[in-house]
Structure 1
């Protein structure tokens, strides 16, 4: 063993460990401990290799050199025997060293890709390790499905770094009835109070169908909210303004201390929703019924008759009016009488139509012995020239004041005042031929001017 400034050197033990040299027995005071630089470089690898990976070389064959050659010669022979084996040894060590280097680099990359993320789903946080690059990949890895009404912060697709926080809030469907109006809304709040705040609903003084602290399940919730409103009620000449969250107009009227009796009603439907600032009028109604008998007018039927002169109408059958019994509802609103409302009607007597014959026969042009007389003057004297005129007793009628018996004896039909002026003049001429001017004792003289 030799001492050196670089440490203790034991060549015998080293060579024995490598299996390349067996020193001869006996002391060697002048042993050669020098090893050239190039030899050290050839036998040692350029990178550190774990001892466990180094191959164990097989024992070399016995050296045929004589023991008297000396130690230096023995070492040189041993080096010569080792040189052919050196390339094979390096070929075996190089792949193993590369595997070690690859595993060391992969471990470093593995550690660098791992991230610590805090994931909160509907307010339940947990810390996890992930290799996801962004939020979308993280949610997919963790099996967290999100829909169009859910909220993810930061947004899906955002890159992740270790220490980030990701929050997912699921949307919940709320069937909201707000002041009588129904609609469907989505909220990510877990409680009714949070949903009202998120939707901007003023809940102070409002009626809620459930507790504000109630949690909203994932399948949603039905919620009825009636906010506080100002309503004015007018009744019996007085005006009352109240603050209410009533569901109907009738409830608001009751809260105002006003009672409805009998047929009393309000200016708006009692089951309608009272709006903020609305004025409701209470109408006091008193009602009764009244039965009246009303006339049913008859109709006039006209039949053409070729035996009668044109312009002549003869009443074949007189008409008769019918009658009906009608029931009306009478009422007063706040003391004012309203228009009667018809409730029912019953026919007591059916009407009978009036039948009238209408002449179509052309009137005669003249009567021999009576033409050329002043018939217009006679008519003016007898009736004022009015074909439908009658005397005060109803016995005489027409232009020439015929009685019915005389009229019919001359071939007239019906009443003379119902016939045309030309037919009346024709009948008057026939009467003049039979009796002269005597039928008109006061005015007959005018026929001759």
Structure 2
């Protein structure tokens, strides 16, 4: 131990040792001459008389340990409290000293002082404050009853606790689910936050990647963290351009008739898109530029405006329609309706000689119900339908037209 440099030289000897030397000299030992003994006695008495004050004020030698650091000190003190006061040590309400301040001290005694420190501990987000006289993080946690086996600490367990105290974060192991890059894994982690978890698992986020939760989110048991990889691309492709349709009136065609005079032709263009993919799947596509490389050709359709001639009142031929008059309409009517102009199908959808639906009847200029029109009117409308769409309008009986 190091001796306090401020102690007076006489303090090196305790009270008992000093007086033992004095007594030995004063009493003398056998075999010494009376003259020599008297001379020594005179010298000792002179020293005693001259050093009376020094002996009266003899210091006490004590090993003083403050927060684990031990020093040999010498002070003119009879109690622990006097020793501490002499050393300028003031104790707070939470500090401890052993023995107690009122205890008597003698040479060779040990006095231990521990200052209290404030320890703020946050365990998985729940914070508590303690006062402790322990000197390291590990011993302080044990002293306050916090089990931290396998946990992550924000400071080393062996870190000394200074008198300024410490704020400590403790994260216990938890099982969480991590979904990233096409994989779903259950991991046990002591990472305090989701950001720390990603670092722990070696996952790096791109500038456009997204997380299902904030990186600052605390990790809790059962948490699911999903990483979505976002990829942004520019895609250029050749596309077809649809043609427009233009209708023009024609006095050469009857009302209800149409004729394509210019076939429409599709064009083409080069289109550039900004595409966003999430984990490889397109989630958005925006046109940013388009250049027409081939213009489409507009389709032109003539629409008839000429009034139709009155229907013939005769018994079978109806109005004349070029290219259809020579067909066997009577055979078709016999097949479709048994030649009955007023017949209606059992479901009410089809009418007359040629079993017109009401919508088809009206598409070829008919009015009212087909089954209420004359036979010649029905035949005329059937001829117009044939000119427009062919014999396929009567899937079963249409072949009769050619017999």
TM over 0.5: no
**Structure with larger Rg:** 1
The two structures have a TM-score, normalised by structure 2, of 0.35
